[in-house]
Every structure is written in structure tokens, then in C-alpha cells.
Amino acid sequence: MVWNRAASTAVWHHSNAYPKPGAREFKKGAPMAVSDHVDLEKFMEGVKKRNPGQTEFIQAVQEVAQDIFDFIEDKEEYHEAQILRRIAEPDRVVSFRVCWEDDDHNIRVQRGWRVQNNNAIGPYKGGIRFHPSVTESVLKFLAFEQTFKNSLTGLPMGGAKGGANFNPKGKSESEVMRFCQSYMTELYRHIGPSTDVPAGDMGVNGREIGYMFGQYKRITNRWEGVLTGKALEYGGSVMRPEATGYGAVYFLCNMLADKADAIEGKTAVISGAGNVATHAAEKVCQMGGKVLTLSDSDGFVHDPDGIDLDKIEWVKWLKNEKRGRISEYVEEFTNAEYHEGQRPWNVPCDLALPCATQNELNEDEARTLVDNGCMAVSEGANMPTTHDGVKVFHDAKIMYGPGKAANAGGVAVSGLEMSQNSERISWNKERLTDMLTSLMADIHDKCVEYGRENGDDGYIDYVKGANIAGFKKVADAMLAFGAV
Ligand code: NDP
């Protein structure tokens, strides 16, 4: 996808800052150019050079850049202002040491981050992840994606992400508490209700949010809506725990409805067994579908009888209270099988919902899903399908809802939690359910607006639709601000 501009001699100095109008800076010795466009390949070369070894971040930028380059081809103002170049450079990356003491009085040292990618349309907003796989690259990719996702919700939220390479698994309650307090002891300087409002993500659920909120309040002596995902007793919103998983299923419903189809009577394969996966499974069951699998990082369970609402309640207890492993499912429900070290994508199904982690569904697995008759994929997790896997779905023309659109329900209800905190009021479940349902329908419609391909079959490229719709709002706000 090469930039086919007449002025092919144009060379825009890659490493420069945004120039003052009328004072463009060109590479020394380069011909006087009439255009400041670079092609996609050159753009990505620059991204790779500036972010060495950050494979997840580069993968995320590449996926968005392809679509944006097509969209802005004839839109000079975005080129002149170097908008994509600026969105792909976080506003700030804060990295810090997190010291804590374990139960045996050993001093432990972890690395913590907050990546504030872009606040053009609202305060930074995005989850905190505690997982041993957390790196700066992973958080930069997540903060970049979050910028587009938050824009798609239509709510005033910028994009950020944070976390630490801390593994809450196997830690005692007091170890988790001490770690959360230590993490917040640095983080509190960088956040605030109009600055940056973090939430939960992998390894950070109600318990961790509680410890972090308590520490923020202790340090600042302020009660304010600085975190979302709080418990109902202290400013949380109903529907927030359910919102990401339910939202991914609502998005799936909207994709199916576009083809005059529905979830009822269909089988679904779901990965993960955490917050997103269990709520996605719950909503699929409520809509008359049959859930066949759940998983964790050790393996997956396949229950041919279906993982019904009672079994899902049991999994929630297993994960949130007992803090056990999904392998224990087969001891409780003996008709099910456990597959150690495997992922669930070879189980034949109509619908697939990857709800665990990034890059958990590769090209071969995508092909197996398609060959087995899977008709739609809705991503509860962030970037769970590899680049080549996405291509398989597109080539097969099956419905494919990327995470930045399909899982945006979580941050959308987080945005609504911020509104409730500002108003010092709590809305009821009916109101929030209606709002989540219509937000997901709006996100779907925006993807259709920018993603429907010309041609007889009217195939909808939801990736392209989400990228362009998400980009446009942020880009237009940035144009209004000038070179900042
Ligand atoms: P949880 O920590 O509640 O659950 C994560 C689940 O994924 C666990 O079952 C975990 O298993 C599994 N998992 C982690 N790593 C792997 C791996 N390498 N292979 C297979 N399974 C793995 O997290 P959430 O449910 O909150 O988040 C899941 C995904 O959804 C993430 O991508 C997150 O960014 C995304 N998301 C979450 C939102 C939210 O509101 N929570 C909002 C939007 C997106 P194990 O216990 O073995 O680690």
C-alpha cells in the first residue's frame, strides 16, 4: 500500500517535530518537495526505529496505520499536522520502581508504568494490568488501542494504560494489599479525576481497585472518582463488572442482526475464565446460545453439555474466591474434558469469543475455526488475534469484531461511572443496561459506516471501520489544538 502521490520526490524529515506553519524543515540536500507525505512502509520503518524491540506496540500501530493511510490519502490537513505520527507517540510514559515486602520479610522489586497515550478528547482513561508478561511495549500497545476504543464510545475519554510485572497469583491477601499500596504511592502523582482515571484489567479486579483507591484516598485526603471499577459501596457503578463481556456479546448480536441472524441456538467457544470471559459466557447463555469452552493459561475445558449459568457461577467462585485453576472444573462437572497446555480453537463452533489475552489466536487456529464452520468472532480481549489470523477471517469473509470495538463496553461503563461520581449519584441497572446496549449498537454502526466495502456482498471490514471512526474524532480534536 504505497502512497501514490504525484510528488514522489517528497521527503519529510522523519525525526522532526511538528513544524511551524510555513517553516517546514526538509532533509539537508533533499529536493525541494511539494508534499510532506511518506508511504506506509517508511512510516512503519520510523516506528520500528524509534521503538526497538517493542513488537506488540509495532504490531498495533501497523494494524491501524494501514487503514488510516488509505483514509487520509486525500486529506491534506491530517498529513500537514502529522496526526498519525503524533498519536503513535505517547504523550508520556512514566516508569517507576515498586518495592514491597513479602510475608517472609523479603524485599521484592517490581517495575510499574503508566502510559498516557493521548488526551485530545478527554482525560486519560485505561486499565491497570498486573501480570508477569507486562512490559513497556505491551502497555504502549494497549494505551494506543485504548485511544481509538475510547473515541469510538463517543464519550470524552483519552487513552492510557498502566500496570506492573507483578503476578498476584499465589500471593497472600496482605501481599497483594502491600503491592497495590506501593504501586499507588507512586501512581497517585500522575492521575486525577480530570487528568487520568485508571480502571481494572488482567490481574486487577475489585479487590485490587479497593486497595489502590484506599491508598490514593489516604495519601491525598480526597474522595474523588480517580479510579473506576470500584465496589458499589464506595462509588462503583452497577453493570461495570459485566460491561466488557456483555458488551462483546451485544456487539456480536449487532453483527449477526446485520445478516438477519441471532445467537439463539448457536454454539460458542470462549477463551479465558476471568472477568471478561465469564460475563461473555453468561450473556451468551442468557441469549439462548451454548457455551462449550473456557480456559486459563494452563489449558482449556470442553463441556459438551454446555457451560450453563449455574456452572458459570461456579467458575466465578473458583476464580474470584477460591483463586483456583480451570482444570478443577472437570472434578466438579465430570462430563467435561480438560486439555492441558492447549487452546480451545479446534473445538467446532458457530461463534468464537477470545477473552483471555493478546495474540492467543494465530493463523492456523483461525483457519481451523473457519474450516469448522465458525461464522463470527467477537473479541473480548485486546488484540487476541494475530495479524495473520485476522487476515484469515477477512479472506473467509466471516464476521470479525476487533477488540477495540467489541470490548469497548467496559470502558464505556467506566465513563458512565465517572459521570455518576461527578454528579454524586448512582444510576440503576435498567438505565445502565439500556445505555450499554445502545452504546454498543452505536459503536457497531460507526464501524459499518466506515467499514462497509463496495461490492455485491457488502462485506463489513469492522477493523477498518473501527480504526477510521476512532481516528477521525481524535484527529479532528488535535487539528483544533495546533502543534501541541
Ligand atoms: P482477568 O485477569 O480477569 O482474566 C484473564 C484470563 O485470561 C484468566 O483466565 C487468565 O488465566 C487468562 N490468561 C492470561 N494469560 C493467558 C495466556 N497467555 N493464555 C491463556 N489464557 C491466559 O482479566 P480480564 O478478564 O479483565 O481481561 C481479559 C482480556 O480482556 C485482556 O486482554 C484485557 O485487556 C481485556 N479487557 C478487559 C477489560 C475489563 O473490563 N476487565 C476491558 C477491555 C478489555 P490465568 O489465571 O492462568 O492467568
Is residue 144 within 8 A of residue 117, CB to CB? The reply is yes
Q: Which of 323, 374, 321, 327 is nearest to 346 (CA)?
A: 374
Return the H-helix or E-strand segment holding 68.
helix 55-71
Give the C-alpha distances (Å, rounded to integers) separating 164 from 174, 180, 277, 311. Answer: 18, 10, 22, 32
- In the block, which residue shows the cell 511539494? 34
DSSP state at residue 401: E
Identify the residues whose C-beta falls under 6 Å from ligand 1: 200-203, 205, 244, 272-277, 295-298, 355-357, 360, 380-382, 407, 410
- Give, using CA atoms, the residue closest to atom 5 of ligand 1: 274
Using CA atoms, how far apart are residues 369 and 348, in angstroms rounded to an integer? 7
- Give, using CA atoms, the residue closest to atom 41 of ligand 1: 201
Q: Is the pLDDT of residue 93 over 80?
A: yes
- Give, using CA atoms, the residue closest to atom 20 of ligand 1: 297
Backbone angles phi, psi at 299, to 5 degrees: 165, -175
CA of 272 to the centre of ligand 1 (A): 6
**Of the residues 207, 246, 282, 357, which should be mutated to test ligand 1's pocket, given the most ligand atoms within 8 Å of the CB?**
357
Task: Tell me if the pTM is above 0.75.
Answer: yes
At 287 the pLDDT is 98
Give the C-alpha distances (Å, rounded to integers) separating 436 from 3, 122, 136, 153, 270. Answer: 39, 20, 31, 10, 21
DSSP state at residue 106: -
For the chain, the average pLDDT equals 92
Q: Is the pLDDT of residue 2 over 80?
A: no
CA of 82 to the centre of ligand 1 (A): 34
Question: What DSSP line would sit under 339-390, residue for residue?
Answer: EET--GGGS--SEEE--S-TT-B-HHHHHHHHHTT--EEE-SSSS-B-HHHH
- Please report the beta strands in 44-178, taking only residues with DSSP state E, as ranges in sequence order: 92-101, 107-118, 124-130, 158-164
CA of 131 to the centre of ligand 1 (A): 10
Q: Which residues are catalytic?
A: 161
- Please classify residue 306 by burial: count the beta carbons closer than 10 Å to its beta carbon, then call 0-12 exposed, 13-18 middle and 19+ buried: middle
- Please classify residue 365 by burial: count the beta carbons closer than 10 Å to its beta carbon, then call 0-12 exposed, 13-18 middle and 19+ buried: buried
Q: Is the pLDDT of residue 27 over 50?
A: no
Is residue 55 within 8 A of residue 137, CB to CB? The reply is yes
- β pairing state of 107-118 and 92-101: antiparallel
Query: What burial letters (b/e) apply to 246-266, b meaning 16+ CB within 10 Å?
Result: bbbbbbbbbbbeeeeeebeeb
CA of 296 to the centre of ligand 1 (A): 8
Tens-place pLDDT, residues 180-236: 999 999 999 999 999 999 999 999 999 999 999 999 999 999 999 999 999 999 999
**Of the residues 144, 269, 276, 307, which should be mutated to test ligand 1's pocket, given the most ligand atoms within 8 Å of the CB?**
276
At 389 the pLDDT is 98
Query: What burial letters (b/e) apply to 214-226, b meaning 16+ CB within 10 Å?
Result: ebbbeeeeeebbb
- Give, using CA atoms, the residue closest to atom 21 of ligand 1: 297
Q: Helix (H, G, I), strand (E, B), or coil: what is residue 420?
A: helix
Alpha helices (runs of H) in 188-239, residue ranges in sequence order? 206-220
Tell me the mean pLDDT in the region 296-325.
Answer: 97
Q: Is the pLDDT of residue 394 over 70?
A: yes
Which atom of ligand 1 approaches the CA of 273 most closely? Answer: 9
* Cβ neighbour number for residue 44 with a 10 Å cutoff: 18
At 15 the pLDDT is 37
CA of 84 to the centre of ligand 1 (A): 29
Is residue 381 within 8 A of residue 354, CB to CB? The reply is yes
